[in-house]
Amino acid sequence: MTIGAWLSDATKDLVEAGIDSARLDAEIILAHTLKKRRTYVHAHASDGIEPRLEEVANARLDLRKNRTPLAYIIGHKEFYGRLFTVTPQVLIPRPESEEIITQFREVLGETQALPDMPTRRLLDIGAGSGCLGITAKLLYPEELNVTLCDISKAALKIAEKNARSLNSNIEIIESDLLSNYPYSPDFVFANLPYVDETWEHSPEIEQEPPEALYAAKNGLALIEKCFNQLSHRMKPGGIAIFEADPRQWPSIIEIAKAAGFDIHRTGRFAYSFKKT
């Protein structure tokens, strides 16, 4: 079968499976299988596909037709311009989470390195793949002492792999929120499970680790627990940046105020809170 014919058939199959990005997903699957860029499959539509590789591509296509997230099929996801390894043991990095990094850069007041800023401690709570904390460390390698923590050993193995592959010198600890973290952080990233199980969601989400997605109390249980811990552990003036669904912010603001935090910056998916 030629590249063009495979893409045409695969696109039809994915459309029938209800996948909106059918053509793009087909191109990514085939390009990944051929170990080529997408531009290659565009330019070589009449080239034949080696039978062994066609079999691999078909197997990956079947996974996508069954709504396996594309990132799990190809094994990585781009976040803030870098590729992070992902497996079904970790949540797939979302574009929405990049808002945390954007706000953090605003908090530091500069998009370049800050030579006069003393080293400060950043804790990435519920780090998963490590995309947030590792990105921050790569942006400010000398200015930040970064620790990634997660309750999942499997997730921390992926985070460690990403840190090695991206040459990011970070600390990794297994911890339920701040329970095993021995320091008082200057900055915190908290992209915790905040999805209410009653919310409508896509079939792809059902294949991600539920412990990284869902929380009780309308999705706020872990956020509230985290703020309660931070109220005793965070330095005055410290900044905690949380990700949540926009409809949750009114409740989270009340939780933050009760824990001794004021709003510092607002966004759609990320809010920064300052410890008073």
Whether 255 contacts 217, CB under 8 Å: no
In a domain, 7, yes or no: yes
The residue among 168, 95, 174, 161 whose CA lies nearest residue 135 is: 168
Q: Residue 115's pLDDT is what? A: 55
Q: Residue 118's pLDDT is what? A: 74
Q: Clarify whether residues 36 and 107 are in a common domain.
A: no
Q: Clarify whether residues 114 and 245 are in a common domain.
A: yes
Tokens 């703020």 belong to 227
In a domain, 107, yes or no: yes
CA distances from 255 to 46, 103, 205 (A): 60, 20, 27
The number of folded domains in the chain is 2
Cross-strand pairs, 190: 125, 242
In a domain, 80, yes or no: no
Cross-strand pairs, 2: 48
State the residue range of the domain holding 14. 3-66
For residue 249, give the 3-state DSSP assignment: helix
Q: Residue 119's pLDDT is what? A: 83
Q: Residue 111's pLDDT is what? A: 41
Q: Clarify whether residues 61 and 101 are in a common domain.
A: no
pLDDT tens column, 190-229: 999 999 999 998 999 999 999 999 999 999 999 999 999 9
The answer to whether the pTM exceeds 0.75 is yes
Q: Residue 213's pLDDT is what? A: 96
Q: Residue 116's pLDDT is what? A: 62
In a domain, 76, yes or no: no
Residues of the chain with pLDDT under 50: 110-113
In a domain, 192, yes or no: yes
Distant-in-sequence, close-in-space partners of 231: CB < 8 Å, separation ≥ 6: 259, 260, 261, 275
Q: Clarify whether residues 118 and 190 are in a common domain.
A: yes
Q: Clarify whether residues 158 and 247 are in a common domain.
A: yes
Q: In CATH, what number is assigned to the domain containing residue 103?
A: 3.40.50.150
Could you tell me the two tokens for 221?
């249980």
Q: Clarify whether residues 223 and 114 are in a common domain.
A: yes
Tokens 């005055």 belong to 236
Q: Which of 34, 66, 98 is where one domain is finished?
A: 66
Q: In CATH, what number is assigned to the domain containing residue 58?
A: 1.10.8
Q: Residue 6's pLDDT is what? A: 98
Q: Clarify whether residues 60 and 143 are in a common domain.
A: no
Q: Clarify whether residues 58 and 159 are in a common domain.
A: no
In a domain, 186, yes or no: yes
Q: Clarify whether residues 205 and 105 are in a common domain.
A: yes
CA–CA gap between residue 51 and residue 36 (Å, rounded): 17
Average pLDDT taken over every residue of the chain: 95
How many helices (H) and strands (E) are present in the chain, helices listed first?
Answer: 11, 9
Q: Clarify whether residues 127 and 59 are in a common domain.
A: no
Cross-strand pairs, 83: 78
pLDDT tens column, 235-262: 899 999 999 999 999 999 999 999 999 9
Amino acid type, 119: T
